[in-house]
Structure 1
Amino acid sequence: MNVLIVGSGGREHAIAASVAKSPRADKIFCAPGNAGIAEYAQCVPIGAMEFDKLRDFAKENAIDLCIVGMDDPLVGGLVDVLEEAGIRTFGPKKNAAILEGSKAFSKDLMKKYNIPTAAYENFTDPKAAVAYLETAKFPIVLKADGLALGKGVLICKDLEEAKAGVKEIMLDKKFGTAGNEMVIEEFMTGREVSVLSFVDGKTIKTMTSAQDHKRAGDGDTGLNTGGMGTFSPSPFYTKEVEEFCEKYVYQATVDAMAAEGRPFKGVIFFGLMLTEDGPKVLEYNARFGDPEAQVVLPRMKNDILEVMEACIDGTLDQVDLQFEDNAAVCVVLASEGYPVSYEKGFPITGLEEFKKHEGYYCFHAGTKFNGDQVVTNGGRVLGVTAKGKDLKEARANAYAATEWVNFKNKYMRRDIGKAIDEA
């Protein structure tokens, strides 16, 4: 079958690598792709938000399955456009992708269907938000309602910081129209865990757990980023936590979306906080996490195309989803200065080393070709992933592999997965 993947990051590289393992994949295309994805797919210069061009390309190239990796085109309704043109597409339609596209919607959904989450209020008026904050308990969390590349969340320790946050999100529009509405949420403490799941509208099958590191600096300091590394499985995602979430979170979310007339097909990413009062939902995403996909997909035993088609056809209940009994750690190699400002265009060396070692992967996030040379083209450049028999071995392997690759201004956190030692 001919497959088209939409996106250009490390997540899409991980998807492309999984698709390439399927005996059913004949020709793989990726729009727009990157230098790493080009190993598996023919990259085509069409942007993820160019819906008409993507539809026309899919028709002209007899695409049997389109996989939409990124949040923006999902929330914008790309799946609807492609399906209306008769193209089988993996991912939620626009009315279901709102689960990620609007934090206010997802919080209201959880409240209505008794899915455990932090206490909150939604605001469209900055003055009303400030008035609410004047009586609030600190620390407190401010969230831009819409998509903000994983950066539209501010944790404020006092009223002064919170007022500045309201100005930043709602008045200065630092995150654009994502800040037209804002969620103010109680601050939760505990371990964070990410659980990805396949969904076919009624059935949900969860994948192995993972844990992401969002902050730019060691010790979870610095600014929020799109993710500086991740590990899988999470030692904090115990059988008890899993059973609680299966009972009160996972199926409840799928059923709630169906009851609202928004059946969800694709991937739901559950961001969980393991609080003293039990697990609570921090956020939903309507697609594979990035960089979580880079540690979850390499451990999946199933043919990814078969699972995705089962989601589309509503036959996921017939799939036995299986993962390897091992671990994986991903360390993101970024450009110095990310996420604020950084230089691009530097040659990358050492990439060929990964082809010599089983269980090691280098997923490209921000790269491109300059002639035959692969160069840096983003803040997050590469995701270096390694497997191991357990998390400690996988972590040691991943950090050893980061030494194989070099480029000017290379930056990484040195403590990805350090929480493993505390488990």
Structure 2
Amino acid sequence: MKKVKFFTYLTPYLIIFIAFIVCTIVGMLISPDSFYKFFSPTQLTRTIPPQLPQKSYYWDIDHYANMALNNACTAFYPFWGFIITHLFYPQTLEQYANYFKITATAIFCISTPLVFWVFKKALKNQYLALVITLAYTVNPMAIFRVIGYTESLFSLLGIFLIWLLSPENKLNEKIKLILLSVLSILMALTRPILVQMIFACLFSLMTIFLLTKQLSKSNIFQTIAISISTILGYSIYGFSCLQSRGDFFAPFHDQKQWGKTLGLHLDLLFLPKSPLFDLLGLYLPILILIISFIVIYWKSKNQKLLVFIPKIFIWDILIIYPPGLVLAYMLNYWRGAKKEIITSKFTNSLQSNYLFWFCIYFSVINALIVFVTQNRLASLGRYIFAGPFFFLALGYLYCCFPGKRKYKNLLFVIIVSAIALVQQWIDYGKDQWLG
């Protein structure tokens, strides 16, 4: 009996890992270079060496390695290189790249079960937690969590942050605030998330107050701790840049070299000028935020919510191209028959769920920053889908609707994502841009 319970407990974790491994194996069988590149401690010899901007062997890893080797201040952040330097003491770019991959893969193996466990605790539904974790694990941006990028470390820190903010976490409040502060500092030293963290905290508080007309001391203190610690985390790096380059905001200024300037590029609403998943990264967080507001507000007022409910398979396909989905839905909403949508009692609890609002606002501000500072949506899909925040917000929204039919479109997206992940491994072997 104990063995049966153990295997039952272990099954979801095996499903998650096997799904990712199968996608990886298929990609590597189609493109053997991806296998050799991933496991090789040195660069493979190319008949035609990869050249930017279309191709590069290591891409961002090259920058993190050079930054650590030269102890330099750049647009990239130092904590990832700091860890590798003090764990392995590499001396060359190739050694750094190899240890980045090894460490990232180890973190992936540790963090993925944690994601499922935390999602299960938060969503209180094992099947939903499994499906959401699968979406997180086999989407095409998941490749960045094993090939040596900061996404592995940032996702691990992010899932710990989610656990600390979870309403189910019963840790002592003082200990929780200390841990939140430490995590926020480390996250601010890993990726450029100063604006995102502060924005997510403040807008979470504002939304909770708008919906409930009250705020808990716990949420206020959490906001203060995260905001101040994020500023402190960046300041540590900023003062280092001030000493070496005479510019406290050098990482921000360096991003201008990538063509980042404020502007409104409305064409990006239809064409990302980059992989299609970047367009999903722009639309999906904003759509989830809008839908959440509508559903939660109507539920709190005990009013009927009449909507157009798609029934044919073509709507699932339209998810792949969100502008088409939005336009088609708007036309059908005004012309089609509407039905009352039933929501669960869980919906009311989201009004004051700080973690839910933090996760969705963190994703939304990432999307908006890219939209107003770049002339293409490059890397947006990576910012949204390589981390756990968007997926937990999505899981919370799914909790608002009873029944299992709701999983149909998500399962379809997972299948498409798995195919896209295979393609990512093929492109990885060809030194192509991954996102």
Q: Is the structural similarity TM-score above 0.5?
A: no
TM-score by length of 1: 0.25
Q: TM-score, normalised by structure 2?
A: 0.25
